Every structure is written in structure tokens, then in C-alpha cells.
Copies of this chain bind each other. A is one copy, B any other.
Amino acid sequence: MSNIKVSIITIGDELLIGQTIDTNSAWIAQKLNALGIDVIRRVAVGDDKLAITSALDEELSKSAIVLITGGLGPTADDITKPLLCEYFGGKLVVDEIVLAHIVDIFTRRNRPFLDRNMKQAELPDNCTVLFNKMGTAPGMWFDKDGKIIIAMPGVPFEMMSIMEDEVLPRFEKQFISDALLHYSVITAGEGESFIAEKIQDIEESLPVHIKLAYLPGAGNVKLRLTGRGKDPLALSVELDKYQKQLAERLRNIVVALEDIPMEQVIAKILLEKNASIGFAESCTGGNLGHLITQIPGATDFFCGSIVSYREEIKKNVLGVKQETLDNNGVISEQTAIEMVQGAIRVLNCDYALSVTGLLGPASDDDEVEVGTVWMAVADKAGTIKTKKFRFYYDRLRNKEMAVQAAFRMIHKFLLGDL
């Protein structure tokens, strides 16, 4: 087991009243984890001197490294820097490199340079300054009694830049630890307990240095095998063996053997086939297109999406017949079919998926229950498969479920398994 324990302290009232979701901690944890460094605790406290000091005391008693994010901005509600300076017995002095950098940022952006920006260049004289190329608040690295304390701004991309450029390379040099490897098996369509029952004997046969975790998501369950060991190669061979056992046992519901989102699984298959996809979206509002275009180079497999939210767009752009809408309703198998046919034609893509549904909260259609969604998936040759779904949650979660169901439906169709 690794001996280096890390605590993350995030500072900010906005975290405690729920105005901001803490994405920094997860990002930091991922990065450290990849180095085999264990995050053992994450603590969030408010912009309060006593609370910050007490959190620092506590985490320093548990961990060798304490990472702090937040509380370094130029405004009055940020109190971390003077506090840390005092805590470690230093005094604030102007750092000329940081000052030049801040002046440069303001000059480039054509903004007036203010006294309070000057203050951002003042740093404790007993820390190593961690350069922040993305913003005005640098990070600070303190060594004290064999422990390391690092403070960084809370703005995610500034924190990430400091971590990548300054912190992680130092950690890599300073710490040698066991290899830590994660192998995943992503399943869809069955629940956690069904899977647990199916693989009980495999789970029980795992050696102590390999752990299995179940991570349920929107319509899927991720199984994560985590192994630790001195020899990365031997460990990977071992993990590979258990991953294969799990995948074989669960073959009907496995969708991927790496922890990537469903849209990336689909993108890979499309690239292998040298094929393209397009969407005719209604209730998902463009989220299918949005998610697939998060992938760099999406233009190689994605043509576009017709978000036909109103009926007239379904008719005018996708060619859904008025008769179909009148006789079958907007949320119907036949509408989904004509939408997907329209998408193939208009977007000139090899594959297409259409989705039309009522996500809630209120129904403006007496004949359709809230949560009802019809989808159709098709290829250029004219094969069409349809499916009706019913989701039981609120608008946002129903949308999320519909999007995941859509990606799974495409996945099965691409594999000839629908």
C-alpha cells in the first residue's frame, strides 16, 4: 500500500450554501490517484479563519500532504493567503515575477491595474511560489515539519494549470510508490444487485490487493477493479485476467471495458466503420449533439442534429407528415420513424437516431403519460428499429435517462444486437 496520504481542503462559503459544486476535488483526486497517491479525506469549510485553521490542524495530523483550493481571489471575502502566511510564520512580500505577470495580464486585456491586484503579487516569504499562467493568483507550497501544504486558487482551470505545471511534476519526482491500476467493466441494463449475484464467486476469489467497486449511474453500472502492487506489469496481467472473467460472465450487458462515456464508445465504433451519425432530437433538446461534440474531432463521425422542438420543424425540416402527427400524435412510433428517416436524408449520415417524448413536469398532451419517450434508430440502407421508453423521474433526470438510453440503443444497433 502507498504510504503517502493526502487531504484536500476546499475553502469557500459558496460550497457550504451549495451555490457551487466542487468539481476540483474530483479532478485532483483523479490526478493523484494516477500517481498512486491516496486521497484519504476531502473537507470543505467556509471563509472563516477559525474553521480553516482547525481544518488545517486536523488534516495535517492525518495526512502527509494537504492540498487547499479556494480563498485566493482579489476580493475581501478571500482570507486564505494572510491566514496561511501567519499559520506558517512568514510575512507577505511582493514577488516581482508574479507582479510582472499580473501587470502583463491587465495590459493585454486593456484593463486598469488596481491596488488590490498589486496585493495578489504579495506572497509569504516562506513558501515556494507556484506560477499561475492562467490567472492572477499564484499557488503556494509550504514545507513544514516534514509535511507539505499547497494552496491554490479555486477557479478550476487555474487550479488545473498549477497542478499540471507545478505540483504533479514535483510529486512525481519526490514520491515513489506502488503502482495503482484501475480496470473497468461498464454494464448497462441490469441493477447492482443482479450483477453482484452473477459475479459473486469471482468477487470472492479476488486477492486482497485487488478491490472491486460497483458504481451505479444513469441506467448503467460501472464495475471498477483496483489493484496495487510493486510490479506494474504483473499487476496489469492479473487485473486483465479478472476483467476478462467479469466481462465473460456479464457478456450480455457489457458495453465497454474502459471507463469512458457511452458517446465515446459509439464514436470509436463509427470511426472503425468509417461511418457517420446524425440525430433528430426533440425532448433531448440538443443534448445528444452536445455530448457527442465534446469529443475532439467529432466532425469525423458526426454530421449534425436537427433539434425539432416544435411540430412545424418536424414537418418542415424532417418531413414528418401532418397526417402522422394528427393520427398518431407527436410522441409515437410513427413520428419517431419519420423523424429518423428525415435525419438520414437531411443530414446525409450513415446512421441516425430520433427521439420524441414528454419529459415533464406537466403534460400538455392528454393521450401521453409524462416520461413516455419513443426512439428510432436507422441506417442509410433503410433498416429501422424503434423502442418505447418510460421514465419516472423529474424533467432533468428523465432527459439524462433518455440520452443514455439513446446512446445504448445506437450502440446495440451498431453491433447488430438490437
> Chain A: residues with CB nearer than 8 A to chain B?
13-23, 25-31, 33, 38-47, 51, 55, 58, 73-77, 111-112, 114, 116-117, 134, 136, 155, 157, 182, 191-194, 196-197, 203, 211-216, 222, 224, 226, 259, 279, 281, 283-290, 292-294, 296-299, 302-310, 312-313, 316-317, 346-348, 360-362, 364, 393-397, 399
A–B Cβ pairs within 8 angstroms, 5 of them: A16-B40, A74-B193, A134-B393, A296-B361, A298-B309
- Give bound CA distance, A20 to B297, whole Å: 26
- Give bound CA distance, A296 to B359, whole Å: 9
Question: Is the CB–CB distance between A192 and B74 below 8 Å?
Answer: yes
A-B residue pairs, 5 tightest by C-beta: A285-B293, A286-B289, A286-B286, A18-B30, A18-B29
Question: Is the CB–CB distance between A284 and B294 below 8 Å?
Answer: no
- Give bound CA distance, A370 to B224, whole Å: 36
Question: Is the CB–CB distance between B22 and A18 below 8 Å?
Answer: no
How far does the Cβ of A291 sit from chain B's closest Cβ, in whole Å? 8
Question: Is the CB–CB distance between A116 and B41 below 8 Å?
Answer: no
- Give bound CA distance, A317 to B317, whole Å: 8
* A292 interface neighbour in B117, B213, B214, B285, Cβ under 8 Å: B285
Question: Is the CB–CB distance between A360 and B43 below 8 Å?
Answer: no
How far does the Cβ of A225 sit from chain B's closest Cβ, in whole Å? 12
Question: Is the CB–CB distance between A75 and B192 below 8 Å?
Answer: yes
Across the two chains, which residue of chain B brings its CB closest to A345? B316
Question: Is the CB–CB distance between B51 and A193 below 8 Å?
Answer: no
Question: Is the CB–CB distance between B18 and A33 below 8 Å?
Answer: yes
Question: Is the CB–CB distance between B289 and A307 below 8 Å?
Answer: yes
Q: Which residues of B have CB within 8 Å of A292?
A: 285
Q: Which residues of B have CB within 8 Å of A197?
A: 114, 116
* A290 interface neighbour in B43, B286, B306, Cβ under 8 Å: B286
Across the two chains, which residue of chain B brings its CB closest to A44? B42
